[in-house]
Copies of this chain bind each other. A is one copy, B any other.
Amino acid sequence: MRLAELSGRSGVPTATIKYYLREGLLPPGERVSATQAEYGEAHLRRLRLVRALIQVGKVPVAAAREVLAAVDDDSLGQTIRLGAALWALPQGVRPEPDDPDAVAAAREVDRLLADLGWSTSREIGNLSPAYRTLVAALATLARLGYPCDAAHLAPYAEQMGRTAALDLDMLEEYPTPVEKVEAAVAAAVLYEPVLLSLRRLAQEEESARRYGL
């Protein structure tokens, strides 16, 4: 498959594919002569993943490159590889370390994790982007006048725990490591809009049920 056909089959303009090649988001095709390269189904698949990351997931190009590097890195163990791919995904805003709201939020998060018995998160949590994003979001909420304590978050966290179990059940259906990691990335990025849409639909439904149209 030549670049033009790759473009035709994926719907991505050739100029954009060249850009992705330059940025290292897409591995170069197999050189068949000095000025021509051949692309395969793997390129098409990867290209669609790139598009999903960038357009649906709004992942910046630089972060997408890191994610894909982790996906491709055979030298990593499966867990590390998956973690590396997910940790490279951007996560909202970073908190300022010495912001008092952030300190209070961090304490509340720690208490929440302790209450839930999520020991893993307590050990490695401070390194996880998800932990920091959570702290930053809670600090912002507090600053806006919507304080959230651990007790208030606990039911949400328990529900997300059940969701995570569903996520991992689904991952187990994919046999090979690469497929698992790719599926994990797709799930992390593409299931987020799905979940959030479902939440909004559920809110509309519940609101109509309680208060009528």
Enumerate chain A interface residues (CB-CB to B < 8 A).
Answer: 45, 48-49, 52, 55-56, 58, 78-79, 82-83, 86, 91-93, 113, 118, 120-121, 124-125, 128-131, 133-134, 136-138, 140-141, 143-146, 148, 152-153, 155-157, 159-168, 170, 183, 186-188, 190-213
Contacts and interface: CB of A to CB of B under 8 A. Distances in A.
Nearest to A82: B207
5 contacts: A131-B201, A144-B186, A146-B186, A161-B206, A164-B202
A201 B156 contact: no
A166 B155 contact: yes
A140 B206 contact: no
Nearest to A79: B211
A210 B78 CA distance: 13
Contacts of A118: 201-202, 205
Contacts of A133: 193, 196-197
A201 B141 contact: no
Nearest to A143: B48
B205 A120 contact: yes
B86 A145 contact: no
Contacts of A195: 156, 160, 195-196, 199
A5 to B, nearest CB: 17
A199 B156 CA distance: 9
A153 B198 contact: yes
A143 to B, nearest CB: 6
A212 B167 CA distance: 17
A141 to B, nearest CB: 5
B137 A213 contact: no
Contacts of A156: 163, 166, 194-195, 198
B167 A203 contact: yes
Contacts of A211: 78-79
Contacts of A82: 207
A161 B168 CA distance: 21
A93 B82 CA distance: 26
